[in-house]
């Protein structure tokens, strides 16, 4: 085939265009590579290796090149009718290829192009390639913190699978995309009830959501009997069933109910009988009956959520437990992080406990983003292939 000299004016020898090719093609020659570029509406230029006849079609009009022997660059600003036949003036959609027929041409769907109109989609991933061919899956289709309800795969219709980007909202979702399944540590999850990202601790083999406590959280029913007459504190051996001390290092949170699970002791240390989170009490010598005693209550609790991004709601109330339970002085810091109280009994063993420990967001503090992992989903892992 004889072509006019101007056909070759956009050709450069010994250079190669940079950029991710949208199509790799084993060409029959330079002109065949040109024809293939012309069949794609998005193709603006191509690289052609003279020795291997490897043809790389590029969807962007790149100007950055590097020296490569035996390579030819050609820009394709216009379609040459002598080479393209009926596809000379085609206006096929970007996700199709023009098929040259005898008297007309056909636009055949071969790929997906562009970003799906979906909230929290990772635009950078979709723009990494000009064309995603049928059955290709886009990796990291959603922004960090989100995972696709279905893998973002190009269908035979040239459209993306109907997926949504959903926020990670629980430790159990670490297995969805692989990579995090066995990793204990701090993670960001989205709480549907608090309508915010919160920092939680996920442990291996347990799907509960915990928050790490960075300050002392202690609860006690001391192993002493109070003498209501003298107020003396007499050690008890053996101790009574309700007596003990518990320090919590992490506490489980039920985000659906927006409350703390007061009797989960997975991350706590106890001496003698376990004390539930938020409770305190003491015991009085039953041999001395004086309900009018002025002796102070010695059961003590301290709740401190400073640094977690959460705090206990100010509306929380404490109720009595045991025999002769009393609620003493309860103080709350101005910022709502720290609550300290004294509870006990005037007859027998008793004290106080919260009716329920409801939580809310701390309006004045959010943990730094780099203090926890914001999960990224490469792609959904098929069941049984984690």
d(CA 224, CA 321): 18
Q: According to the 3-state scheme, what is the secondary structure of 65-88?
A: EEEEEEEEEEECCCCCHHHHHHHC
DSSP per-residue letters across 185-233: EEEEEEETTTTEEEEEEEETTEEEEEEE--S--EEEE-SEEE-TTT--E
pLDDT score, position 385? 40
Neighbouring residues of 328: CB distance < 8 A, sequence distance ≥ 6: 296, 297, 341, 342, 343, 344
pLDDT score, position 102? 76
Task: Return the structure tokens found at 324.
Answer: 């002769």
Q: b or e along 195-210 (b: 16 or more beta carbons within 10 Å of the residue's beta carbon)?
A: eebbbbbbbeeeebbb
pLDDT tens digits in sequence order for the chain, 386 residues long? 555 555 666 788 999 988 888 899 899 998 899 889 889 999 888 999 999 999 999 886 667 888 999 898 888 766 666 688 888 888 999 999 999 887 789 999 999 999 999 999 999 999 988 899 999 999 999 999 999 999 999 999 999 999 999 999 998 888 888 766 668 899 999 999 999 999 999 987 777 899 999 999 999 999 998 887 888 888 887 778 899 999 999 999 999 999 999 999 999 999 999 999 999 999 987 665 555 567 889 999 999 999 999 999 999 999 999 998 999 999 999 999 999 999 999 888 999 999 999 999 999 999 999 999 999 999 998 644 44
d(CA 138, CA 159): 13
Confirm if 212 and 200 have CB atoms less than 8 A apart: no
pLDDT score, position 261? 96
pLDDT score, position 8? 67
CA neighbours closer than 13 Å in the CB half-sphere of residue 48: 23
pLDDT score, position 83? 80
pLDDT score, position 238? 72
Task: Return the structure tokens found at 6.
Answer: 């101007």
pLDDT score, position 335? 94
Q: Would you call 123 exposed, middle or buried from its count of C-beta atoms within 10 A (0-12, 13-18, 19+)?
A: exposed
**Helix segments in the chain, DSSP class H:** 30-39, 81-84, 123-126
Q: Which residues pair with 72 in a beta bridge?
A: 13, 48
pLDDT score, position 386? 41
pLDDT score, position 384? 43
């Amino acid at each position: 085939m004889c072509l006019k000299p101007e056909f070759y004016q956009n050709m450069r020898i010994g250079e190669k265009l940079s950029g991710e090719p949208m199509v790799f093609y084993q060409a029959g020659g330079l002109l065949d590579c040109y024809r293939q570029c012309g069949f794609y509406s998005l193709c603006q230029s191509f690289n052609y290796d003279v020795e291997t006849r490897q043809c790389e079609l590029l969807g962007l009009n790149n100007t950055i090149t590097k020296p490569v022997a035996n390579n030819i660059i050609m820009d394709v600003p216009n379609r040459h009718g002598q080479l393209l036949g009926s596809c000379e003036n085609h206006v096929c959609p970007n996700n199709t290829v023009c098929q040259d027929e005898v008297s007309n041409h056909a636009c055949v769907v071969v790929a997906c192009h562009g970003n799906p109109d979906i909230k929290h989609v990772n635009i950078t991933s979709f723009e990494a390639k000009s064309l995603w061919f049928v059955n290709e899956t886009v990796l990291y289709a959603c922004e960090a913190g989100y995972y696709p309800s279905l893998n973002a795969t190009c269908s035979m219709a040239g459209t993306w699978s109907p997926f949504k980007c959903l926020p990670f909202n629980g430790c159990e979702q670490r297995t969805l995309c692989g990579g995090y399944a066995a990793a204990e540590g701090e993670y960001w999850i989205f709480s549907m009830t608090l309508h915010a990202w919160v920092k939680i601790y996920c442990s291996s083999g347990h799907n509960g959501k915990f928050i790490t406590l960075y300050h002392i959280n202690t609860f006690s029913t001391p192993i002493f009997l109070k003498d209501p007459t003298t107020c003396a504190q007499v050690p008890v051996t053996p101790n009574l069933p309700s007596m003990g001390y518990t320090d919590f290092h992490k506490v489980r949170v039920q985000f659906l109910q927006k409350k703390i699970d007061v009797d989960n002791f997975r991350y706590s240390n106890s001496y003698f009988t376990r004390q539930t989170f938020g409770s305190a009490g003491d015991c009085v010598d039953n041999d001395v009956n004086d309900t009018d005693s002025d002796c102070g209550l010695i059961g003590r609790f301290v709740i401190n959520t400073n640094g977690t991004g959460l705090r206990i709601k100010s509306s929380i109330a404490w109720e009595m437990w045991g025999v002769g339970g009393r609620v003493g002085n309860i103080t709350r810091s101005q910022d709502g992080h720290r609550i300290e109280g004294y509870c006990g009994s005037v007859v027998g063993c008793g004290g106080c406990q919260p009716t329920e420990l409801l939580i809310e967001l701390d309006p004045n503090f959010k943990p730094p983003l780099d203090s926890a992992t914001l999960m990224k989903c490469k792609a959904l892992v098929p069941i049984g292939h984690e």
